[in-house]
Amino acid sequence: PARHATTKNARYKIHGVKNSSSEILVTIDQSQQKNSWVSLGVFDFEKDAINVGVVFLNDLTGERDLTIAFDAMRWRQILDTPIGDGNGNVPAYAGDGYDSPIGTEAERRGTKVWPGSWLDASPFGRLYFVGTPSEAYHTGADLNLPQDADRGKPVYACASGEVVFASRLPTWGNVVVIRHDPLVTNGKVMYSRSAHVGDMLVQVGDRVERGQQISTVSNAFGRWAYHLHFDLSPTTILESHPEHWPGKDRDATFLHYVDPKDFILANRPRS
């Protein structure tokens, strides 16, 4: 409902989540949404709790001259149980799967990765810039549309999670790193890096949902051709070192990164 929702700080309080002594707070930037269902996350409920499954939306955003929208809520059952830490502790948030970070909504929901006319100019693990000082194994995908048609195209969160870095870096330009929620199917936590981007729409600490726009495709302030550098890491390297680049260290490349195309294909949402 973007016509009547301009708040960046709509605060939803979810009651009855297992292993939580109080309601779970989820903040949604309503100004970025329009005529679509927005996920608050994946939760495991305590069936006998008071007000279990009840969601309150407080009109207390701390903003001036902005509006908030109230609308229907719906729950959808997920048959898998989120994986905990082995001690009965289940995470408050869990991810329902991964989409491509680019493409229209219909394309991202489709089966093709990469979607539409998007191409990967430098696939994962490929040695490129061969014979130059920049020779390196590629850590992810360089996603392009022909003839700079990708310039300014939206970049989306590939899965739900929390922004842990959003700033400019030497060589990289603007970079957004997201620590994604544990997958509901296997508990795996991944980090995504979207680099060379423009118009960063998120900041550190923001929660994002799968399919939420976080930035636009750019060129690192003129350093590179227009494209999105996108990689996925199963380690914490991008949280501690968002600029990380293993160069010609093949072992480090395959330790800290996975093929993003293969990972997304293996972990698609059920709907």
Does 136 share its domain with 219? Answer: yes
pLDDT at 142: 98
Range of the domain at 131: 105-266
215 belongs to a structural domain:
yes
- Tell whether 125 and 23 lie within a shared domain: no
**In this structure, is residue 155 part of a structural domain?**
yes
Over the Cα atoms of the chain, what is R_g?
A: 19
The first and second tokens of residue 5, run together, are 């929702």
Q: What is the pLDDT of residue 58?
A: 77
167 within domain boundaries: yes
* Statement: the pTM of the whole predicted model exceeds 0.75: no
Claim to verify: residue 115 and residue 216 sit in the same structural domain: yes
Q: CATH number for the domain including 174?
A: 2.70.70.10
Residues 210, 126, single domain; the answer is yes
Q: What is the pLDDT of residue 48?
A: 85
- Tell the burial category of 43 from Cβ atoms under 10 Å away from its Cβ (0-12, 13-18, 19+): buried
Residue 219 in any domain: the answer is yes
CA–CA gap between residue 16 and residue 39 (Å, rounded)? 17
Same-domain pairing of 21 and 144: no
User: Is the domain of 138 the same as that of 243?
Assistant: yes
Residue 82 is assigned to a structural domain of this protein: no
Confirm whether 249 is domain-assigned: yes
Buried b / exposed e across 208-243, counting CB within 10 Å, b at 16+? Answer: bbbbbbbbbbbbbeeebebbbbbbbbeeebbeeebe
Please tell me whether residues 163 and 253 are part of one structural domain: yes
DSSP state of 51: T
Looking at the structure, tell me whether residues 34 and 167 fall in a common domain: no
Q: Does residue 239 lie within any of the structural domains?
A: yes
One digit per residue, the tens of pLDDT, for the chain of length 271 reads 556 788 888 888 999 988 788 888 888 888 877 767 777 877 888 888 888 889 888 777 888 888 888 877 878 766 555 555 555 555 567 888 999 999 999 999 999 999 999 999 999 999 998 999 989 999 999 999 999 999 999 999 999 999 999 999 999 999 999 999 999 888 899 999 999 999 999 999 999 999 999 999 999 999 999 999 999 999 999 999 999 999 999 999 999 999 999 999 999 997 6
The verdict on residue 151 lying in a domain is yes
Q: Are residues 51 and 155 in the same domain?
A: no
Question: Residues 130, 43: one domain?
Answer: no
CA distances from 110 to 27, 33, 207, 264 (A): 28, 20, 25, 12
Sheet containing 119-120, strands listed edge to edge, beginning at the edge strand earlier in sequence: 119-120, 141-144, 228-233, 191-197, 173-180, 161-169, 207-208
- From 41, 58, 75, the end of a domain falls on 58
77, 140, 145, 95: which is closest to 116 by C-alpha? 145
Q: Do residues 130 and 251 both lie within one domain?
A: yes
Q: Which DSSP letter does residue 23 get?
A: P
- The total of structural domains in the chain comes to 2
DSSP structure class, residue 237: H
* Domain identity same for 252 and 177: yes
